[in-house]
Amino acid sequence: MMAMYAPLLMMFAVAAALALGFFLASPLLGKKKPTREKIIPYECGSETTGGRHVKVSAKFNLTAILFVIFDVEVVFIYPWAVDFRSLEWAGLLAMLGFLAALVLALAYSWRKGALEWER
């Protein structure tokens, strides 16, 4: 049984050794010439303007969540498409039910105005 897991354990050991080696070697090999620009926090390469504590719109978060939800659905559709022929009619009906629920969720989101950026 251990022979099955030996290559996997060796791969993890080599990966951990490389990560630890890079982590320990970087301070030794890297140049250390701190300047004023290097020690300030990096913020997208430009100075901030306006208020620093401006709240992000809830619409942005809702749009991001909807994107993730509808994007993850592809992860469920792909294995079904790969094994489509062996699933026969039961698999087709199950996927049609899944897609119907997905379309209903999209229609509900659209009806509620969740997909409109400006209002």
pLDDT tens, position by position, 23-46: 999 888 887 788 887 777 766 656
| pTM, entire model | 0.49
| Assigned domain for 87 exists | yes
| Assigned domain for 44 exists | no
| Assigned domain for 104 exists | yes
Domain, as residue range, for 80: 53-111
Residue 50 has a pLDDT of 67
| Assigned domain for 100 exists | yes
Domain count along the chain: 1
| Assigned domain for 36 exists | no
Question: Can you give 22-67 as a three-state secondary structure string?
Answer: HHHHHHHHCCCCCCHHHHCCCCCCCCCCCCCCCCCCHHHHHHHHHH
